[in-house]
Amino acid sequence: MAVTIHEVARRAGVSVSTVSRALAVPDLVRASTRDRVLAVAEELGYQPNRAARGLITGRTGNIGVVVPDVANPFFSAVLKGAHARAREAGQVVFLADSAEDSRVEAELVAAMGKQVDGIVLCSARMGDEELERSAGSTPMVLVNRRKAGLPSVLMDSADGMRQAVEHVAALGHRRIAHLSGPVRSWSSAERLRGLREAAAASGVEAVEIGPFPPTFEAGLPAADLVLASGATAVLAYNDLMALGVLNRLAVRGVVVPAEMSVVGFDGTQVSAMTTPALTTVGMPTETAGRAAVELLLDVLARPEHHSEAARTLPCQLVVRSTTVPPLPQAVRAGAPARLEALT
Amino acid sequence: MAVTIHEVARRAGVSVSTVSRALAVPDLVRASTRDRVLAVAEELGYQPNRAARGLITGRTGNIGVVVPDVANPFFSAVLKGAHARAREAGQVVFLADSAEDSRVEAELVAAMGKQVDGIVLCSARMGDEELERSAGSTPMVLVNRRKAGLPSVLMDSADGMRQAVEHVAALGHRRIAHLSGPVRSWSSAERLRGLREAAAASGVEAVEIGPFPPTFEAGLPAADLVLASGATAVLAYNDLMALGVLNRLAVRGVVVPAEMSVVGFDGTQVSAMTTPALTTVGMPTETAGRAAVELLLDVLARPEHHSEAARTLPCQLVVRSTTVPPLPQAVRAGAPARLEALT
DNA sequence: ACAGTCGATGAAAACCTTTGCACTGTGAGC
DNA sequence: GCTCACAGTGCAAAGGTTTTCATCGACTGT
């Protein structure tokens, strides 16, 4: 049986109100009384019952985080950041995994609604109307999704894509392939936009292939498509897909980076672990997680104030070993024997 | 303002008791009344306030999951399984990340205590006494940690290790290196035990190197140690470390698997993505997560019953491309030129 | 026809906390 | 010496639900 505020009050010889105040608004109670109460509370190991508190204050002290897939390193990193920031604020995080299913997602958000003060919704898959409905009942901040009237934390994927394009363009590539991701994803659209703008600006030709699911497996067939496209560099939707490309290229006997440059996206741990190490666009995942709960906390504190706030976090290209200048045309057309001399 | 049970009662023309019963124990109310109540509840979108319910029942409907690091794919997989099973049971999961710190871990468990019905504690880092103290205040099931009197879900790492050892032994390796993981980890100790037993039984010589943190970075220097040891095969503590080994071996110009066989552990996604694909011991991570909340639910349902229950899940070696028979001694000592012919 | 049962429902207590309001006493200002 | 303000504290209501107990009517068995 847990120790209640009544028990503390009894032992300290005061009323429950005084105990409550001693803990919540110390200045309201005389120093001597407060010290006595605090001592007793400490001794008994008293911890307020959050359910009871929530009942009266209407605040639960919980924040919900919903992601499409916890097992995806991208999201688990966001989750980690969110958890860290929440903990600092004494909030607890509720986790929900929508399994990439927009219906489940909506359901989870609805179910969470009453038990949390607010929700951090990552890469929302649900439609705009559903989103609006959900947001109506619970304060919510979006991560990597934009919706008028809803606060959000965005990662500047378009700019990340620009960096990637400029990088391969600077290396001398003139025809680059892009492997696109989930159609309904905001992030996906942003990257496409960044690609087109940067390609036009840099005077390189971008061939768009896809869409694909953002997985290793999708990268396998995508690699063949890339080879057939005649591109000399490929920008994958994410690191997982890039790994698939790498894998398939190796099977096909295509040497990376000599014969094909490959760029990933997300900057997940694994991108540093391949041989050769993958050039990728680093995403501020953990930072985004932190920023999202930060923003949510703000919204909770003064509701009407920043319903429109959108914070954009920068991406940073990290150049590793999968991007080099393309082979001269003559060599590419030549015999494999000549290639060996180059690698 | 949320719709309460009173509102439903008023609109349905019954008392709150009847509404409560219609939802919780439908047989207790007349069919016609029940239908009417249910219809009204549905129409109003009534959802019981869990805080209020928890206040009276003493059950929160929440279960806590604490892991050393959400961003580690091994744990995020366990988490995913736990979440899935919890959701099926209508429970929600509280996440806590201890950042591999035993003090934070204990703190988190204590803080969670009051807000959850029970805790799933993964790969507990805290000491036995602390563990005992924590378990005293909240029902708890351990994952990959054994402690007398506490229910637990174990993955049979020792047997997984046996499979790995027998595999490389069968390939003809006679001297194999083992890279050990965190000293305080139960899993680590189990694997060492499995290694020694299987090595003795198979008549192979095991050289134990370590301990190391279970990371990619640790695999780098470990690879050099392995080369110096004269082993022809290496069993790494986990996949991450194995990737580090692979990476460093490539840098050193050692060809895998021809010159060195490498086995990982955990069977994480990434193990399938390397080139060559990593032979590894598959761990039933998601299953373990499910099993853990299953067990917790059981314990919650009938407390005194299975406080001792320990469920052990099997591991399964998955053979891929990093393990082949060792080179004949003559060749290994010979010129690199001869090697090339082999690969 | 009557006692006894049982099914269906309602009233109210209980869970633990926060907080508005009321009360007491002390010191300041006149 | 009297009023007033105010600091410190207690009382009690409120929050939404579950659950025990009581009530009431109808039905069964004799």
In B, minimum Cα distance to A78 occurs at: B71
Query: Is the distance between the Cβ of B96 and the closest atom of strand C smaller than 7 Å?
Result: no
pLDDT of residue A170: 97
Which residues of chain B are at the A interface, by a Cβ-Cβ cutoff of 8 Å? 2, 47, 49-52, 54-55, 60, 65, 69-71, 73, 76-77, 79-80, 83-84, 87, 92-97, 112-115, 216, 240, 243-244, 246-247, 250, 269-270, 272-275
Q: Are strands A152-155 and A140-143 parallel, antiparallel or unpaired?
A: parallel
Residues of chain A neighbouring B71 (CB-CB closer than 8 A): 73, 76-77, 80, 269
Q: How far is CA B141 from the centre of its chain?
A: 13
Bridge partners for B317 per DSSP: B281
CB-contacted nucleotides of strand D (7 Å)? 7-12, 14-20
pLDDT of residue B123: 87
Query: Is the distance between the Cβ of B52 and the closest atom of strand C smaller than 7 Å?
Result: yes
Q: What span, in angstroms and rounded, lies between the C-alpha atoms of A342 and B277?
A: 26
- Which structure tokens are listed for A233? 């560099």
Q: Which residue's CA is nearest to the C1' of nucleotide D12? A: A17
Q: What span, in angstroms and rounded, lies between the C-alpha atoms of B182 and A36?
A: 44
Residue B316 falls in which region: left (phi positive, over 0), alpha (psi -120 to 50) or beta: beta
Per residue in B174-192, pLDDT (tens digit) is 999 999 998 888 899 999 9
- Determine, for residues B79 and A70 on separate chains, whether the beta-carbon distance falls below 8 Å: yes
Task: Give the DSSP letter of residue B242.
Answer: H
Angle at B35 between CA B30 and CA B40, to 5 degrees: 130
pLDDT of residue A175: 96
- Determine, for residues A96 and B97 on separate chains, whether the beta-carbon distance falls below 8 Å: no
Q: B20: which nucleotide lies closest, measuring CA to C1'?
A: D18
Bridge partners for B154 per DSSP: B312
Contact B323, B167 (CB under 8 A): yes
- Minimal CA–CA distance to A158: which of A209, A122, A195, A199? A195
Query: Is the distance between the Cβ of A333 and the closest atom of strand C smaller than 7 Å?
Result: no
Q: A21: which nucleotide lies closest, measuring CA to C1'?
A: C18
Query: Is the distance between the Cβ of B24 and the closest atom of strand D smaller than 7 Å?
Result: yes
- Determine, for residues B83 and A77 on separate chains, whether the beta-carbon distance falls below 8 Å: no
- Determine, for residues A244 and B273 on separate chains, whether the beta-carbon distance falls below 8 Å: yes
pLDDT band of B1, cuts 50, 70, 90:
low
Torsion of CA B251, B257, B261, B267, to 10 degrees: 90
Q: What span, in angstroms and rounded, lies between the C-alpha atoms of A200 and B58?
A: 63
* Nearest chain A Cα distance for residue B70, angstroms: 6
Residues 47-86 of A with CB under 7 A from strand D: 52, 55-56
- Determine, for residues A76 and B73 on separate chains, whether the beta-carbon distance falls below 8 Å: yes
* DSSP H/E element including A234: strand A233-235
* Nearest chain A Cα distance for residue B244, angstroms: 7
Contact A29, A21 (CB under 8 A): yes
Q: Is the pLDDT of residue B340 over 80?
A: no
Length of chain B: 343
Domains located in chain A, CATH noted? 5-48 (1.10.260.40), 62-155+286-313 (3.40.50.2300), 157-284+318-337 (3.40.50.2300)
Chain B interface mutation, best of A76, A251, A274, highest count of B Cβ atoms under 10 Å: A76
Out of B73, B95, B113, closest to residue A93 by CB: B95
CB-contacted nucleotides of strand C (7 Å)? 7-12, 14-20
The helix/strand/coil state of A33 is helix
The helix/strand/coil state of A278 is coil
Beta strands in A40-80 (DSSP E): 62-67
Range list of H helices, A212-260: 216-229, 239-251
Numbers of helices and strands, H then E, in chain B: 14, 12
Q: What is the pLDDT along chain A (343 residues), one digit of tens a residue?
A: 678 999 999 999 999 999 999 998 888 888 888 999 999 999 998 988 988 998 898 888 899 999 999 988 899 999 999 999 999 998 999 999 998 888 999 988 888 887 899 999 998 888 888 888 888 878 999 999 988 888 999 999 999 999 999 999 999 999 999 999 988 888 999 999 999 999 999 999 999 998 999 889 999 999 999 999 999 999 999 999 999 999 999 999 999 999 999 999 999 988 999 989 999 999 999 999 999 999 999 888 876 666 678 899 999 999 999 999 998 865 555 444 444 555 5
Q: A20: which nucleotide lies closest, measuring CA to C1'?
A: C18
pLDDT of residue A330: 54
Q: Which amino acid would we find at residue B80?
A: K
Bridge partners for A176 per DSSP: A206, A233
Per residue in B298-335, pLDDT (tens digit) is 888 876 666 678 899 999 999 999 999 998 865 555 44
Contact B9, B29 (CB under 8 A): no
Q: How many CB pairs under 8 A join A and B?
A: 119
Going A26 to A27 to A29 to A34, the CA torsion angle's sign is: positive
The mean of the pLDDT values for chain B is 90
- Minimal CA–CA distance to A121: which of B91, A193, A129, A138? A138
Residue B137: CB atoms within 10 A of its CB come to 14
pLDDT of residue A329: 66
Angle at B340 between CA B335 and CA B342, to 5 degrees: 105
Q: What span, in angstroms and rounded, lies between the C-alpha atoms of B235 and B243?
A: 12
Torsion of CA A67, A188, B243, A253, to 10 degrees: 150
Which residues of chain A are at the B interface, by a Cβ-Cβ cutoff of 8 Å? 2, 47, 49-52, 54-55, 60, 65, 69-71, 73, 76-77, 79-80, 83-84, 87, 92-97, 111-115, 216, 240, 243-244, 246-247, 250, 269-270, 272-275
Cα separations in angstroms, B211 against A18, A93, A121, B100, B189: 54, 34, 40, 16, 11
**HSE toward the beta carbon, residue B75, CA cutoff 13 A:** 24
Q: Which amino acid would we find at residue B4?
A: T
- Which structure tokens are listed for A198? 């940067």
Residues 4-43 of A with CB under 7 A from strand C: 4-6, 16-17, 20-21, 23-24
